[in-house]
Copies of this chain bind each other. A is one copy, B any other.
Amino acid sequence: MDVQRRLGLQIQRLRTAKGWSQEELAYRADIHRTYISGLERGTRNPTVTVVERLVKALGCTWSDLLDRTTRRAADRKSED
């Protein structure tokens, strides 16, 4: 799972949890609607300033969007 795909899935997860359409999120984050679509599908490689707008719009952390989902410490041991 690459970083773009992971980011896309998390954006979608958080967006739908709020009951927002892609257009609604686009409006709140001041990002074009078609770009949100591309982000969620993992076909875009956004800059940190764009992700910052998403973090603020979604009211989440960078970790929520980009770090692997929360695990117990024991699960982290096998990472490279």
Q: Which among B48, B61, B63, B67 is the interface contact of A48 at CB below 8 angstroms? A: B48
Copies in the complex: 2
The count of residues in chain A whose C-beta lies closer than 8 Å to any C-beta of chain B is 16
Residues of B within 8 A of A66 (CB): 48, 62
Decide if B67 touches A62 in the complex (CB within 8 Å).
yes
A54 to B66 Cα, complex, angstroms:
13
Decide if B67 touches A61 in the complex (CB within 8 Å).
yes
Residues of B within 8 A of A45 (CB): 47-49
A9 to B63 Cα, complex, angstroms:
18
- In the complex, A52 has a CB within 8 A of chain B: yes
- In the complex, A4 has a CB within 8 A of chain B: yes
